[in-house]
Amino acid sequence: MKLTIRTLALPAALAMAWLATGCGSLGGTKAETTAQPAVAAVKGAKIGPGMNERGEVVDSRKVESGFGQKVKGIDDWEGEITGKPAPGSKFTQLTIGMSAAQVLSMLGQPSDQGAHPTARAWIPFYFGSDRYRYEVVYRGQGRLLFASGAGFGWDANTHLIWIIHSATEQGTR
The model's pLDDT over 78-122, given as tens digits with 9 standing for 90+, comes to 999 999 998 888 999 999 999 999 999 999 999 999 888 777 778
Domain count, the chain: 1
- Provide CB contacts within 8 A for 170, sequence distance 6+: 139
Parent domain of 81 = 27-165
Rounded Cα distance between 79 and 71, Å, is: 5
Tell me how far apart the alpha carbons of residues 155 and 149 are, in angstroms, rounded to a whole number: 9
For the question of whether the overall pTM of this predicted structure is more than 0.85, the answer is no
Q: Looking at the chain, which runs of residues are DSSP E strands?
A: 69-72, 78-82, 112-117, 132-138, 142-148, 159-165
Is residue 3 in a domain? no
* Residue 73, domain member (yes or no): yes
Residue 15 falls inside a structural domain? no
Query: Residue 61: pLDDT above 70?
Result: yes
Q: Is the backbone of residue 149 left (phi > 0), alpha (psi -120 to 50) or beta?
A: alpha
Is residue 173 domain-resident?
no
Give the CA distances from residue 150 to residues 23, 84, 108, 129, 136, in Å, rounded to whole numbers and listed in that order: 20, 32, 23, 8, 18
Q: Is residue 63 part of a domain?
A: yes
pLDDT band at 4 (very low <50, low <70, confident <90, very high): low
* 140 or 33, higher pLDDT: 140
Q: Is residue 19 part of a domain?
A: no
